[in-house]
Amino acid sequence: MRVGNIDGNGVIYRVLSRGDPKGVATIYAGDIILEGGERLVAVLRDTRLGLMIGWKSVGRDDKYPSIHGDMTPFHSYDGPGSLYITDRRIVFLRRPDLKEIRGNRSGEDMGVGSDLARARSILSANGLEYCEIKFEDIADFKEKRGGTRLYLSAGGQQYHVSLDKEEADALVPLLKKRFPDSGHRAGLY
């Protein structure tokens, strides 16, 4: 699992942009870059990714591993994005939403100033935020009423991702092939 922003352009995703006559990007979106032989299974638009630290607790947004191995901030509910499900991984892409960042956190003690600065930097570079979860990072998953929870292990840390029903419906058939006894491992939850 890894998260990031501008560092993923050309590696995890590519930006598709259209500029105005002055060359300023007015509309841009992203698309994932498929690996050799990888197959796209589903794309879900206007969705959110609930990524948290730990398996048992609700946890809180924090820093997560990046492409370069350092820890990078990723706040789960700072705006909607697109969820790409392939036969090998899940990739969430979003354009930072300054209004959502302001609305979700307030005050310097919540880091809103640094989050806004990071988001402005990403936007000025016509970049996106991403979260990539490879299937080998998924330790297990558990279906719940109204959605599914994925349990991840990456870089010596445990994480969980909550998916709503629409996202789960697209992903669960792939996971059931990988984990035929899902949700039944002793001591996992």
What whole-number distance in Å separates Cα of residue 185 and Cα of residue 106?
Answer: 40
Residue 139 burial (C-beta neighbours within 10 Å; 0-12, 13-18, 19+):
middle
In a domain, 187, yes or no: no
Per-residue pLDDT of the chain (189 residues; tens, 9 = 90+): 888 888 999 999 998 766 666 766 555 678 999 999 999 999 988 888 877 776 555 445 567 777 777 777 777 667 788 999 999 999 999 888 777 777 665 554 455 677 788 888 888 888 888 989 898 888 888 877 777 888 887 767 778 888 888 888 888 888 888 777 655 443 343
- What is the number of structural domains in the chain? 1
Domain with 7 in it: 2-178
Residue 140 burial (C-beta neighbours within 10 Å; 0-12, 13-18, 19+):
buried
Q: What is the CATH number of the domain that holds 147?
A: 2.30.29
What is 130-149 written as a DSSP string?
A: EEEEEGGGEEEEEEETTEEE
